[in-house]
Amino acid sequence: MPKLQTIAEHIGARVEGDASSSVDGLATLLDAGPTELSFLANMAYRDQLQITQAGAVIVHPKQAHEVKGTALVMDNPYLGYAKASQLFNTLPDAQKGIHSSAVIHESAQVDTTASIGANAVVEANAVIAKNAVIGSGSFIGNNSRIGEGTRLHSNVSVYHDVIIGTDCIIHSGAVIGSDGFGFAPDRGAWVKIAQIGGVVIGDHVEIGANSTIDRGAMSDTQIHDGVKLDNQIQIAHNVVVGEATAMAGGCLIAGSTQIGKGCTIAGGVGIAGHLKIADGVHVTAMTLVTNHISEAGSYSSGTAMSNTSEWRKSAARFRQLDSIAKRLKQCERVLSEKE
Amino acid sequence: MPKLQTIAEHIGARVEGDASSSVDGLATLLDAGPTELSFLANMAYRDQLQITQAGAVIVHPKQAHEVKGTALVMDNPYLGYAKASQLFNTLPDAQKGIHSSAVIHESAQVDTTASIGANAVVEANAVIAKNAVIGSGSFIGNNSRIGEGTRLHSNVSVYHDVIIGTDCIIHSGAVIGSDGFGFAPDRGAWVKIAQIGGVVIGDHVEIGANSTIDRGAMSDTQIHDGVKLDNQIQIAHNVVVGEATAMAGGCLIAGSTQIGKGCTIAGGVGIAGHLKIADGVHVTAMTLVTNHISEAGSYSSGTAMSNTSEWRKSAARFRQLDSIAKRLKQCERVLSEKE
Amino acid sequence: MPKLQTIAEHIGARVEGDASSSVDGLATLLDAGPTELSFLANMAYRDQLQITQAGAVIVHPKQAHEVKGTALVMDNPYLGYAKASQLFNTLPDAQKGIHSSAVIHESAQVDTTASIGANAVVEANAVIAKNAVIGSGSFIGNNSRIGEGTRLHSNVSVYHDVIIGTDCIIHSGAVIGSDGFGFAPDRGAWVKIAQIGGVVIGDHVEIGANSTIDRGAMSDTQIHDGVKLDNQIQIAHNVVVGEATAMAGGCLIAGSTQIGKGCTIAGGVGIAGHLKIADGVHVTAMTLVTNHISEAGSYSSGTAMSNTSEWRKSAARFRQLDSIAKRLKQCERVLSEKE
């Protein structure tokens, strides 16, 4: 049960009210009880300050006087919430040391402060740095390196020659370093192109559950510092994802595409191969990107949703669009001749 | 080799013909041989009753007289097929007890009738109920509970504080309780929001291979009784999926969206975050839902498929649609002035 | 360090220059150094022959005279690159034999030349053929057969009654033989249809990381010889994928669809159920296929990407398309009456 004073110091807020009282959880304004902390980050919920039962609320200075309990006051309450949440994290600490059921190659280097979970496997010449955590059933291939403080959850697969930086989080079922999809056609069959590049992942990267990041064909696939990838994302060989870019679930990024820094890619987006996407680009959900994007901004494709019966009519007419455009032009021509 | 009488009792049909004969398998009308059972549920295949070699056929009373072998007669032959299929299931029974290679924390409670597969891991305070099956290589995190009769196949990952009800089926590679995708922006970087909620899954739920269900940010992600999720589905934090809703492969459901009861969501559908979808909604394949849906019915987005060369013309004209609409309005105006 | 002469023989090229020198790696024309091999397969990069530092280059006879170092000359340089890449493969050889931590059922047959990785599990009556490799943490269910020379990477799940041919590659996290998605509706609930078919996978098939292939409802799901599937692909029950068809990441193929030979399906494509797709079909990225395709050719759906603000206008007008088409027809009628 942290005291509000402690929380305020951790998140960089000042306390208005009883700094010595404690809270035992974090909840929304509507859900929070008297022993819980809440926050107001979206003005749409401002009225809830009047009815919340929360013992304390993180707010912007402008709303501080509206808080009935204790206010934790700071300019960016959403950031305050993020930092406070870490104090209430329920994720169990991993036990230091190598579990007796783990299989570690004699040439692997595992720091004494690292944690290797039950039935995990660490192959030859792999390096597991200080305070790194390898979850149960995870696999670390030859020569791969897991950086300081990085945590792999259970059943993660890391192939050989993969470098993962410090303070990363890799969720269960993620696969890093699988072969890129490369084949040369030869008289109706496909000849495999060995994928001899690796994967290099920077620091503070998070990779979601069941996401896949392929190794490079010749040089490395690269995920730069601070990138956040949600679940079920596919990153093909030789993709470069720039610093602090975030992608929501189910995105598919084809080979050799370079995505800039600070991009936000919504769920289900596909980006074709060999493209360059500028810094600061936003792509809306389920858009297909088939061209370079050279300027920051928001990009979209697709159509709006309708009732299926209405949609069928539009979809049928979509096929006639070229004819419609030409016929319209003809109408305009006739009309202008009549003038 | 069950006797037809036994099958009829199991599925709730009456036998017309030789109830004492047996069948050793289940097949379509076209594939079935004389020792196999088949069914007619779709009238498009009615003519196949004339040519089928099946030893017995599950049919509606109206078609009973058309069956040449033995008829198993009931009002819902497709339901009869479903129930009969369970008698021919090839899935091996799991062996009761804890495999010697499994790693079980001393504080975990594993019922003596449960089965824990080879190299599975069960963490502290987890509870594995009667007749539950934990597949080989699966991981059950701290405090998680697996209900009576629930079966996890191999290599499933269940994080901490996840509750799974009774008689569920979780397929290989599924991940339940991974972190929701939540970050607060802070001067160009992302600060992680600890995901301190859990996941609560009801009874009779099936979750497909490599599907992912994130834990809640503060409160729980919820999958209600009787929900059926196909493979490779992504359910984000704090989503609620209502009773008996079914989703086909590859759906992406963004955070905090609430889906009603009895919905059928086709493959590859995306549903944006913070939406409410009514009961009884059907969404067609690969539709993007970006608004609340307040009425039952069928909904769609996207365009119909064409030859790529035709499609290119339509796609180019799509970008001109606003101009086309305005120019059409102008034509109409000129024409009405001429009247 | 293979000699150029050796490489030339391996890939079927003739050497122009110093056949006795060696190379220690493979790189693009721009990246290659004096001890590396490169290739020119795409004429867009032809100018790079002038500036490359590569010690040797695989080229078409027409460009042989432009190579400054040693030329490896052949008609299909891209095929040469593919074959050469295999000489530089970094994938570690698997150790023959059964790892002491693997769990093998006494009735399973494991060839003495096969490799069973740490913590892998092989169930009753499974057969692992000569030189097959079962990666760490992988699971092979009852009666399943893994063909000669086939390699499963770590954490692959193969259910019971799955047959995989020779010289296949199955990447980490792939799931083969999970239940097809079949239920009969019964008064608001879903009754499971036991999936009693298996999966049959031919020879020289590659299946990407976290891809899923469901078992058949009654008969088998089939993946024919030479098929190449990228990551995160979902193949539903009773699908048939024809010889040498290739699919990029994230494709979703619904139940009972039959895809022909030699098709190329781009990323994120959805194909509805019970369809027949001819041989030699190409489908562009993120297309939804809802009808049979009876002729070879290229097919597409969707719209082109725009700025979101422009796109919003088009998307709104899309809903008016039927009205636009009717109003245009009315304009044409009025105009023709005026003639």
**DSSP code string of C8-30:** HHHHT-EEES-TT-B--EE--TT
Mean pLDDT throughout B246-254? Answer: 98
Interface probe for C, chosen from B89, B321, B336, B339 (most Cβ of C below 10 Å), is B321
What DSSP line would sit under C198-259, residue for residue?
-EEE-SS-EE-TT-EEEPPSSS-EEE-TT-EE-TT-EE-TT-EE-TT-EE-TT-EE-TT-EE
What is the tens place of the pLDDT at every residue in A165-178? 999 999 999 999 99
Question: What pLDDT, on a 0 to 100 scale, did the predictor assign at position C338?
Answer: 78
CATH architecture under which domain B97-299 falls: 3 Solenoid (2.160)
Question: What pLDDT, on a 0 to 100 scale, did the predictor assign at position A336?
Answer: 87
Q: Are residues C196 and B26, on separate chains, in Cβ contact within 8 Å?
A: yes
Task: Say whether pLDDT at C329 is over 80.
Answer: yes
**Residues of C annotated catalytic, as ranges:** 237
Q: How far is CA C86 from its chain centroid? A: 18
| Cβ neighbourhood burial of B295 (10 Å; 0-12, 13-18, 19+) | exposed
CB-CB neighbors (< 8 A) of B303 in chain A = 303, 315, 318
Name residue B202's amino acid. Answer: G
Question: What pLDDT, on a 0 to 100 scale, did the predictor assign at position C337?
Answer: 85
Question: What pLDDT, on a 0 to 100 scale, did the predictor assign at position B327?
Answer: 92
Helix (H, G, I), strand (E, B) or coil at C333: helix
Task: Say whether pLDDT at C339 is over 80.
Answer: no
Residue of chain C whose Cα is closest to the Cα of B117 = C121
In this prediction, residue C170 has a pLDDT band, given cuts at 50, 70 and 90, of very high
Q: How far apart are CA B176 and CA A284, in angstroms?
A: 26
User: Checking DSSP bridges between strand B306-307 and strand C297-300, what pairing results, if any?
Assistant: antiparallel
Question: What pLDDT, on a 0 to 100 scale, did the predictor assign at position B337?
Answer: 85
Task: Say whether pLDDT at C304 is over 90.
Answer: no
Catalytic residue among A65, A237, A274, A282: A237
Is residue B92 within 8 A of residue C123, CB to CB? The reply is yes
Question: What pLDDT, on a 0 to 100 scale, did the predictor assign at position B233?
Answer: 98
Is residue B8 within 8 A of residue B19, CB to CB? The reply is yes
Chains that touch C (3 or more CB pairs under 8 A): A, B
CATH architecture under which domain C4-88 falls: 3-Layer(aba) Sandwich (3.40)
What is the tens place of the pLDDT at every residue in B80-100? 999 999 999 999 999 999 999
Is residue A209 within 8 A of residue A171, CB to CB? The reply is yes
In this prediction, residue B336 has a pLDDT band, given cuts at 50, 70 and 90, of confident
CB-CB neighbors (< 8 A) of C79 in chain A = 184-186, 191
C-alpha triplet B136, B140, B143: angle, nearest 5°: 160
Question: What pLDDT, on a 0 to 100 scale, did the predictor assign at position C24?
Answer: 95
Shortest distance between the Cα of C121 and any Cα of chain B, in A, equals 7
**Residue in A99, A171, A306 closest to B300 by CB:** A306
Percent with pLDDT over 70 in chain B: 100
Task: Say whether pLDDT at C1 is over 90.
Answer: no
Task: Say whether pLDDT at A186 is over 90.
Answer: yes
User: Checking DSSP bridges between strand A183-186 and strand A189-192, what pairing results, if any?
Assistant: antiparallel
What is the tens place of the pLDDT at every residue in A132-155? 999 999 999 999 999 999 999 999
Shortest distance between the Cα of B17 and any Cα of chain A, in A, equals 46
Percent with pLDDT over 90 in chain B: 96
Q: Which residue's structure tokens are 């009754």?
A: C191
What is the tens place of the pLDDT at every residue in C116-155? 999 999 999 999 999 999 999 999 999 999 999 999 999 9
Question: What pLDDT, on a 0 to 100 scale, did the predictor assign at position A310?
Answer: 94
Task: Say whether pLDDT at A120 is over 90.
Answer: yes
**Residue in C160, C175, C302 closest to B210 by CB:** C175
What is the tens place of the pLDDT at every residue in B112-157? 999 999 999 999 999 999 999 999 999 999 999 999 999 999 999 9
Q: Are residues A318 and B313, on separate chains, in Cβ contact within 8 Å?
A: no
Q: Which residues contact A148 (CB under 8 A, 6 or more apart)?
A: A129, A130, A131, A132, A166, A167
Could you list the beta-strand ranges (E) of B76-220.
97-98, 103-104, 109-110, 115-116, 121-122, 127-128, 133-134, 139-140, 145-146, 151-152, 157-158, 162-164, 169-170, 175-178, 183-186, 189-192, 199-201, 206-207, 212-214
Q: Are residues C208 and A181, on separate chains, in Cβ contact within 8 Å?
A: yes
In this prediction, residue B304 has a pLDDT band, given cuts at 50, 70 and 90, of confident
What is the tens place of the pLDDT at every residue in C229-261? 999 999 999 999 999 999 999 999 999 999 999
- The residues facing A298 across adjacent strands are A282
Task: Kindly report the average pLDDT of chain C as a whole number.
Answer: 96
Q: Pull the structure tokens for residue B57.
A: 């056929």
Question: What pLDDT, on a 0 to 100 scale, did the predictor assign at position A100?
Answer: 97
Shortest distance between the Cα of A209 and any Cα of chain B, in A, equals 7
Mean pLDDT throughout A11-23? Answer: 96
Shortest distance between the Cα of A188 and any Cα of chain B, in A, equals 23
